[in-house]
Structure 1
Amino acid sequence: MKDDDALPLAVNGTLMRGLELNPNLLEVGATFLYESCTAPKYRLWSIGDVHPGMVRVDDDDEGASIALEVWSVPASGIARVLQNEPPGLCIGKVILVGGDVVLGVLAEPALCRGEREITSYCGWRAYRRALEEGQQK
C-alpha cells in the first residue's frame, strides 16, 4: 500500500495506544502520528465505563477540547476498524484544536443518552485514571 493511500484518523478512546482496541488499528497497518485535542466543540460520555462517546455540539452549546490521538490509517483499513468498533460509534469529521479537520471516531447522540457525561475530564485516559484512583467527579 502506498503512503498516499493512508488517511489521518482521530481516535479518542479504546483505539488509543495501549488500550483495548488499539490492536484493531495495528492489524490494518496504521501508524501513530501525534497526540492532539479537538477544538472546544465536543462533549464526551462514558458508555458503561467500557468506552467513550464523543459528540460535536452546536455552536451555542458549551463544548470542550477533548484529548485524542491521530493515526495514519490505510484507506482500505478504515472500514475494518469501524466494523470492529462498538455499536453506535461512527466515522465523521473532527475539528482539531488548530483548525485542521480530519476523519475521526464519533458517537451517535442516541448512544450517549442516559450515560455519564465525562466532558469535564477532557479525555478518556483522564477519566479512566480518575476511576482507578476513585476520584471521579
Structure 2
Amino acid sequence: MSETANTLPIVVVGAHLSGMPLNRELTEPGGRLLRRCRTAPDYRLYALPGTVPEKPGLVREPGFEGPGLDVEVWELDAAAFGAFVARIPAPLGIGKVRLEDGSEASGFLCEAHAVKNAREITALGGWRAYMARLAD
C-alpha cells in the first residue's frame, strides 16, 4: 500500500466508493484509487437508517467469520485527508480497518449503538451488492 510522508490511505466501504454519490469528496481534492480488495472476515455491514445519501455502517466483531466485505483503498495528501475526516458525521468515524491480506489502514467505522436498529447486509458482501439489490 502506498503511503508517504505526504499521503495517507483511507478505506471506504459505501457512499465514497467509485461511482457512488460521495466519491467526489475523494476525487475533487486529488484522491487516487490504490486498490479494490476485501476486509478481513470479522466485520459486519449495516444499512444505516435515515442517512442521506444512504450510508453503511462497518463494525468489527472479533471472532465473527463473515465473507469479508468489498472495499476500496484511496490515497489522499495529508491536508486533504485531515479536511475529509473533519467532515465525517457521527455515528461514522475513522479507525483502523484490517484487510484480507492482514494489512491495516485508516478507514470508515461505525459506532456500535447506531446499528442496533439497522438492517444487517453483511451476507451480500458489500455496499455495491446492497445498492444493486435495492435497484431491482
TM-score (norm 1): 0.88
CA distance in 2 between partners of 1:66 and 1:74 (Å)? 25
2:117 aligns to what SS in structure 1?
Answer: coil
Q: Name 1:53's counterpart in structure 2.
A: 57
CA distance in 2 between partners of 1:53 and 1:79 (Å)? 21
Amino acid at match of 2:60: R
TM-fit CA distance, 1:127: 0.5
Kindly report structure 1 stretches of 4+ aligned residues shifted beyond 4 Å: none
Identity of aligned residues (%): 37
1:29 aligns with 2:30: yes
Alignment of 1:11-30 (within 5 A): 11-30=12-31
TM-fit CA distance, 1:22: 0.7
TM-fit CA distance, 1:26: 1.5
CA distance in 1 between partners of 2:119 and 2:13 (Å)? 16
Q: What do residues 26-52 of structure 1 show as CA deviations (whole Å, max 9, x unaligned)?
A: 222211111000010100000127110
1:5 aligns with 2:6: yes
Q: Name 1:131's counterpart in structure 2.
A: 134
CA distance in 1 between partners of 2:84 and 2:120 (Å)? 25
Amino acid at match of 1:129: A
Gaps of 5+ in 1: none
